[in-house]
Amino acid sequence: MTALNNLQTPAAIIDTVRMQRNIHRMQRRMDELGVRFRPHVKTTKCLPVVRAQIAAGAQGITVSTLKEAQQFFEAGLTDILYAVGIVATKLGAAHDLRKQGCELKLITDSLEGARTIATFARQHAAIFEVWIEIDSDGHRSGVKPEDDVLIEIARALVDGGAKLGGVMTHAGSSYECSDRTSLVAIAEQERAGAVRAAERIRAAGLACPGVSIGSTPTALEAKRLDGVTEVRAGVYVFQDLVMHNVGVCSTDDLALSVLTTVIGHQVEKGWAIVDAGWMAMSRDRGTQKQRRDFGYGQVCMQEGELLPGFILGSANQEHGIVSRSGEPDADIARRFPVGTRLRILPNHACATGAQYPHYQALLPDGRTEEWSRFFGW
């Protein structure tokens, strides 16, 4: 174990106290609403974090790559939803995982996709569990709940020998909200769309046992989840500045930060130069179109004390520029001498975490331990 003062920078820091608080907040919410919770582990891709989620009551995981599925399966997790539309070139890897005992679930949102799965299954004597992705908000992928092709997809899967696990959706447009009223509305839209799709499939005489929904904002703000069997959410475990702007957390809930060191100044510009550029923070500027733009991140002191007005205003590959919003800080060199250690709260925890092969987990006693992170597709 290493003290925070002795870490090389930049480093990705997990505040484990905040992380555990976020985990338990979400799990309590799901327990109160009476639904199973399947966390999306693409945010962390980290086994100790996922084990903490499972210990709190989560059942199964969601992944964004087949490599994640393989790595978590090898670590002992078997109930896995691969929440990206499957294509023919990936069916072999998916089949291999299922043959090894992984309860891997696939998704599709097209008749072509369903037929591709059926063709592969027929040729390889494979049986896949497949969920149909529903478009509940026009955000990204999925078939509309009232679209006629929904029933065609369901029939093609069942007739092709697949197990139809259910329907799933993700209300990604919730990230564009900034008040509770709109969050509650999009959460209900997400729920109602997925439930309606499942009802239509059942009315056509086909089994559709599962209804899976989820995003961090809708999971935290949904008033009811009638007809839903499980919820998925990912970024809640760390939270970030985008979620802060959406309104589902405070900066005191942000569990991921980047430790960085001041390496120089441009005094006339009011800048402090740090060794965390966009390679350390990611290029994600998710707060740029929100009610408050944090640049590349909110600046804190090393121990986590927020420094209001100070942001990582711009970044090059390995250099970040700390500045004060509005009037430049003429005392920047005195305030942050060379060697000062700062922590930067990120816009998008998933993107920032992806820059690192491992995290430094900050324990309650102030020491850190290294937690590895999975990579690859």
Is residue 337 situated within a structural domain?
A: yes
Residues 231 and 258 in one domain: no
Residues 160 and 129 in one domain: yes
Range of the domain at 50: 16-238
Is residue 265 situated within a structural domain?
A: yes
Where among 204, 238, 272 does a domain terminate?
Answer: 238
Residues 281 and 177 in one domain: no
Residues 255 and 310 in one domain: yes
Residues 230 and 282 in one domain: no
β strands within 86-128, DSSP E: 103-108
Per DSSP, 205 falls in state: T
Tokens of 219: 């999971």
Residues 106 and 24 in one domain: yes
Would you state the pLDDT for residue 236? 98
Is residue 352 situated within a structural domain?
A: yes
Residues 177 and 278 in one domain: no
Is residue 138 situated within a structural domain?
A: yes
Is residue 212 situated within a structural domain?
A: yes
Residues 224 and 287 in one domain: no
Q: What is the distance between the alpha carbons of residues 153 and 111, in angstroms, rounded to a whole number?
A: 5
The DSSP result for 270-305, as a single string, is: TEEEES--HHHH-S--TTTTSSS--BT-EEEETT--
Phi, psi of 366, rounded to the nearest 5 degrees? 95, -10
Successive 10-residue mean pLDDT values, the chain, 377 residues: 89 98 98 97 98 98 98 98 97 98 98 97 96 94 97 97 97 92 96 98 98 97 97 98 97 98 97 98 96 96 96 97 91 97 98 98 96 95
Residues 312 and 226 in one domain: no
Would you state the pLDDT for residue 139? 86
Domains of the chain: total: 2
| CATH classification of the domain holding 310 | 2.40.37.20
Would you state the pLDDT for residue 371? 98
Residues 25 and 173 in one domain: yes
| CATH classification of the domain holding 149 | 3.20.20.10
Would you state the pLDDT for residue 2? 78
Residues 195 and 222 in one domain: yes
Is residue 115 situated within a structural domain?
A: yes
Q: Residue 12 contacts by C-beta under 8 Å, 6 or more apart in sequence?
A: 256, 257, 258, 259, 352, 353, 355, 356, 358, 359, 360
Is residue 246 situated within a structural domain?
A: no
Would you state the pLDDT for residue 365? 93
Residues 267 and 336 in one domain: yes
